[in-house]
Chain A
Amino acid sequence: MPDRPPSGKLKIFLGYAAGVGKTYQMLEEAQEARRQGIDVVIGYFEPHGRKDTIAKTEGMEVIPRRKIDYRGGLFEEMDTDAILRRHPQFCVVDEFPHTNVPGSDRLKRWQDVQALLEAGIDVVTTMNIQHLESLNDQIWNITGIRVRETIPDWVMQQADQVVMVDLTPRALLNRLARGVVYSQEKAQKALENFFQESTLVVLRELALRQTAHEVEIRQVDYDAPGFQPEPGYHDEAEQPSDKRDRILILVTPEPATAMLIRRGKRVADYLHADCFAVAISREIDLHDMPARDREIVEQHLNFARNLHIETRVLQGQDVAKTLVEFAHLNGVTHLFLARPHPNQWPALSRRSLVQQVVHLARDMQVTIAADRSNRQQSQAV
């Protein structure tokens, strides 16, 4: 992590749906800390009318929420400044991925939490797996829902501990049916999308695997080299497998680029690889592009930077050549390209960008990332 590590410790209770017991377990931890004489406050807590959970807040100091007037409505947000002034040792913050109402000091609650951590306050918080940025397309694919409130993966990586709050889907569905999680009306709606059993099973598996990954990357020997083919088979392999992977993502105005960036970053994180993204234009600073395209490319580059991917704009007449030259100069092992748009398959006798890149990038791997939005409608060959 290039950033200065925050001084407070962050613990995330990770679940896979509302009602698995994240908030309950977080509060239990807070009560335990209090029993040990630690100075604990509740910075933000969402009771959802759940009796057992509310009972767990007993005796704890609550920092009143801040009221924000927005378009005639009154909204309540965590009062980060008040918590900073109060400066407890330990702060409870529910619903980590929450987006603050406009007019708040920070866009996202996770940014509020960063401020608390930087001030040396330990934080416990809760989130569901569907809010992890790099899984956004997979979640869309599985549930049909585009989750808007996301946590960048590096934020989760910075956490000191990620703990899985597990409950089986059947038990969760029973709780939902008994009205423990939501009111009847809301429960009915929930049952129609996220809360189908097969969907819950997949989300749960994703959460288990992510927690295992978070546990693994916190172990000391994570960078040990992996499988090596037996000697003798290695004669033509230019690339020893313990060489550090470097992934380079090509950013274009294509809408699929956001998907490409998430996927490239996720693969980079799992391989513990460096990750860069570049956009290429004929003139300096994308000036040859139509204004609309330039704006979209800027947005994509910005999105990549938010995920802690280093970005660059390259100048070059030939996209494939410029990309591969840059890759060679920077020791890149692996290129990521978006799938060509269906009506952009090359006309006869013109090579596609993929073809050109593969032709030039002899010593690299080239991944053409899937379009995860339409898993159900694969084209015939």
Chain B
Amino acid sequence: MPSAIRRRSPEELLQQIQAEEDYERRGRLKVFLGYASGVGKSFRMLDEGRRRSERGQNVVVGAIQPKTTPEIEAVLSKLEVIPLRDVGGVLVMDTQAILKRHPGVCLVDGLAYDNPPGSAHASRWEDVNELLDAGISVITSINIQYIDDLRERVQQITGKTVTQTVPRSFLNSADEIVVVDAPPEMCIARDGQMGAGSSSPEQKLSELREIALLLAADVVDKQLEAYLHRNGIPQTFGAQERILVCITPRANAAPMIASGKRNADRFHGDLTVAYVRQAEISAQDQEALERNLSIARSAQARIEILDGQDPIETLLKFAHEHGVTQIFVGHSTREQWWERFTGTPLDRLIRGANDIDVRVFPH
């Protein structure tokens, strides 16, 4: 297993140079992520702008939400503000004016705002994208309820519907993401908006808080991957549990996959089900395999069909390359006589796994 820098192919090198160049040209995006209004996202964002400005960076405020607190007003008074533009009664960030002013850093509150019809971009996050393309760094803030793939889950908790969203991929492209974490009682005191539904406000806020923390962890994981990629370091470790369930046509896959799913959920980890292709399997086995794969699909596992001469070696190679932390395998307790002398496949798997947990399901 490679430990640091491995020799790369010319294609990989080109890819890396391209990635580095793209990265250098663009402005940096930093996102303050909150799980409810009242946790203090906007303040944290503006306060960072103030501190940067005091350290000599060229900072402007591109957009701020209409409702402000005295705390926010105090910070705002120390910063240059590019006024919002009035478009038919709707206040819109003046992207052209910001581009003309061309600051080093632009602060943009309310990333999920929609622009009125007829604007250059439908949403504020696309304006931000344009600023980044122009080499302007942006610090922004967003509440998790406006992230497209979380919208439904958050709606189920809060009972509130939102229409404006920011794509998850845009968030994943952020250079830095910061969770503004606060205990739920603070938001209840400031807000008191959690009306609908049966569970208590504490319970709802706690669920939202968990979503925000895990989202940040996932984005951080993506960033780590990108960082390692940019620097040509293959991923050898991570903070996330990754479970690999190895199946065969005859494996009793249901309990293994159910357990894999449960473990992945509890660890908020990643679940992959892998099958090493066997040459010429019977129609009956093919059918059994399909059945097992469909269980994997219903558990929403990622499915990998691997090719290789030696199934054990193939699985271990995949596991090591993908930072797997737990391998789940079935094991027949009917031993073949020769395995007494050669060691069973299970022995070989355990020996080769070394830095990965091996969980055996006897049958």
Contacts and interface: CB of A to CB of B under 8 A. Distances in A.
Given A349-B341, A366-B362, 8 more contacts: A209-B214, A212-B213, A226-B266, A229-B295, A233-B254, A241-B259, A358-B360, A367-B358
B266 A230 contact: no
A366 B1 contact: no
Contacts of A364: 362
A355 to B, nearest CB: 7
B298 interface: yes
B304 interface: no
Q: What 5 A-B pairs come out closest when comparing CB atoms?
A: A205-B239, A212-B213, A208-B217, A168-B176, A381-B352
A365 B320 CA distance: 22
Given A164-B213, A229-B295, A237-B258, A171 B360 contact: no
Interface string A350-375: 01101100110111111111111011
B178 A209 contact: no
Contact of A229 (B1, B298, B340, B344): B298
A116 B247 CA distance: 53
Interface stretch (B5-13, B116-124, B144-152, B220-228): B220-228
B54 interface: no
9 contacts: A170-B175, A208-B214, A212-B217, A229-B254, A239-B255, A358-B333, A359-B333, A378-B354, A381-B352
A272 B267 CA distance: 11
Contacts of B358: 367-368, 370
B362 A361 contact: yes
Contacts of A348: 340-341
Contact of B221 (A205, A212, A216, A361): A205
B209 A209 contact: no
Greatest chain A CB density within 10 A among B183, B217, B320, B355 is at: B355
Given A227-B265, A237-B254, A376-B236, A339 B223 contact: no
A227 B320 CA distance: 27
B350 A368 contact: yes
Contacts of A369: 357
Given A142-B237, A237-B258, A366-B362, A211 B181 contact: yes
B177 interface: yes
A363 B261 CA distance: 19
B203 interface: yes
A367 B217 CA distance: 27
A203 B298 CA distance: 33
B257 A229 contact: yes
A236 interface: yes
Contacts of A198: 224, 227-228, 233
Contacts of A330: none
Interface string B198-232: 01000100110110011011001101100110000
B84 interface: no
A202 B176 contact: no
A270 B203 CA distance: 20
A218 B298 contact: no
A355 B178 contact: no
A167 B178 contact: yes
Interface in A90-134: none
A271 B266 contact: yes
Contact of A230 (B227, B298, B310, B359): B298
B356 interface: yes
Contacts of A381: 310, 312-313, 316, 348, 351-352
Nearest to A32: B186
A212 B181 contact: no
Interface string A320-351: 00000000000000000001100001001101
B98 to A, nearest CB: 23
A378 B350 CA distance: 11
B102 interface: no
B106 to A, nearest CB: 18
B60 interface: no
B299 to A, nearest CB: 6
Given A204-B220, A227-B299, A381-B348, A365 B259 contact: yes
Contact of B333 (A212, A362, A378): A362
B224 A201 contact: yes
B353 interface: yes
Nearest to A340: B350
Interface in B89-128: none
A355 B346 contact: yes
B164 interface: no
Contacts of B183: 11, 161, 163
B265 to A, nearest CB: 6
A237 B224 contact: no
A375 B350 CA distance: 14
Given A201-B223, A215-B213, A367 B360 contact: yes
A356 to B, nearest CB: 11
Given A168-B178, A209-B268, A226 B261 contact: yes
B238 A202 contact: yes
Contacts of A18: none
A112 B303 CA distance: 50
